[in-house]
Structure 1
């Protein structure tokens, strides 16, 4: 069934996906692929065709249930593609209602306060390895910082924050199918229902859309996953680019930090989500002149569409016409895009500022890459650097609320001190 399909899994694809996209593109803007053993799908590689699919929910709905019923329960891609009643898998009025609540809640975040929190948290993470002279910037930094940002905007106290971080990491590693993060987020939602605060979860619950606790849990779990692993990839890919690509590395050695340019380059060439935006047409349709089977995954190759020769010629610095954040009604909400860019920028700038003589510990061609069809990012990013003079940044207690500065309860200091110890490995 899948002999003539190109595999989007395994080390060969992970090592050089762009070579695969280039080869597939020779046969047209779509291609038959295999996203897991014996799991067929169609990949959209053309920029125009990607926009066609993303902007037409009537013919390309997001609901996977007709497909997932025929997939073995041990299929490795099933946890990421199975239906949940959240913005990702819904269309029509249900999607509009929930997405509106999420977008409005994210729009209330004070980004200046969030930037301060990101800088303090980044410094706390860097402090854990700064004196070692070496680090894995994926495992010790990029993997954790976005999750701590998400738990911050959700108003999670340290005890629940730890549970959410642990549950999310288990979900990404395919350990428990999301049970840990579901339980932790349900605990957070219940606490915010009885004791709301100036945070995203409380704003979701108070929204005029009238979300139930269960609906809120699913939207917050979505925020935790969409706001963490893709950001991890964005940070890791940007740091890698700045360290090994001579277009940027030369500027770094001269004292310039072209972080914004590097972020734009990554969003074009190695976007945080390489292949996703999955839809499930209920009947056979034509995309780019090729038939797409009914009730079978149709994936958007954001990386492939962005590097479509029809749109990728010439310089891209400052050009944000990429589809890294999607398009159409399911595009990443504008407030979330702003937070993503800010998180990536702060994360990269703090590392380069604190560890200015940073260099990769292995040759560029020896880096290991994440396997699987969805992501293109290093599995690890080992670096070396001269240990800076010992200057541990003090943990300053809980940041001020994101919406406005309000005095917190006195005992909060001790609870945030507990999270500080957890951050520092104590």
Structure 2
């Protein structure tokens, strides 16, 4: 387990004191700071000018009221957020999350992670995150539209293709992005396609964006497996979640010859020993928007739905946590290790607890941290920004080729950095160090800002 360098202890203490109760943000900051002892020993200049303190402090935090009217004519009030964390490398870039659990601490942790994830892509984008404690589940299209329009009526003044470029996240898909972008266009009287990514193909979206996070995570893990002379081919896999990231992780795993036997949603998980039927899963989750239990009901033939419980009790060679933060605990990690897991690829943001990560590393399990492995989504968002800037539209094949190149480069950067700093095979330290150095060097160039 990494030990926090004594020079960094006061910085973490300040983060915890200034951001009381924001446990997810504390966790994210601790993980990065625990990786930096080797860096400041080699580059003591990074401790000058309160550089690390500035990296841990958002440039701007925006909290606002979102009033809207439901279909019964009742006025509802939600809270909206945008944390513009760091713009050293480019305009703030990061998704919007609509979920009842959203609060400023969660948005801050996601924005902090986004800074380093975006740095790893090598593309000119800074880090930010936003959202609201609104739950689109069970709401009509008209209610979602009214909420999105109210949200954007405040948010628009803080956005711009050279300022802050949001995208989707949990609860924000193509429908929500369309409503948000439409209101932005209406309020600004500008067709500024580069201000939002994840858009529909008819109005400036990029091919392969929908698939990008799941595909990217799978490309990263495939590259990681290849360092041990193996691949997904013939491997038994478990992917948590059943949303965008999980579905397209499954799709790419299947193309690499793997077999996915389980996936989940917040109600429980399914086990299909014959292998998940991807088209049926897409029909249930993307078209009908039904619970995962419906898959077991329709598929039959030995498929089981387990209400609640832990999907990580299902034996597998490769585990891909792709649902939400801290979904995979130390207990879950030990169950996976006992059942023979050889690799873990994080498709979600910080889905493994620190205890789980340390258990995997101590057991010699290949572990791909989310800030590296799930960077494919934001990388393809940056490619969408490129296409918007040049008034161009790339083919699916061209975009996926660029995505694969970026994910392979991220893998190699993390692996080479881990080697350089004396921790071979430690992708967590490799990712944290490589991304920190890129952000820190740029901030030093700008002076004290």
| TM-score normalised per structure 1 | 0.26
- Structure with greater contact order relative to length (CA < 8 Å, sep ≥ 6): 1
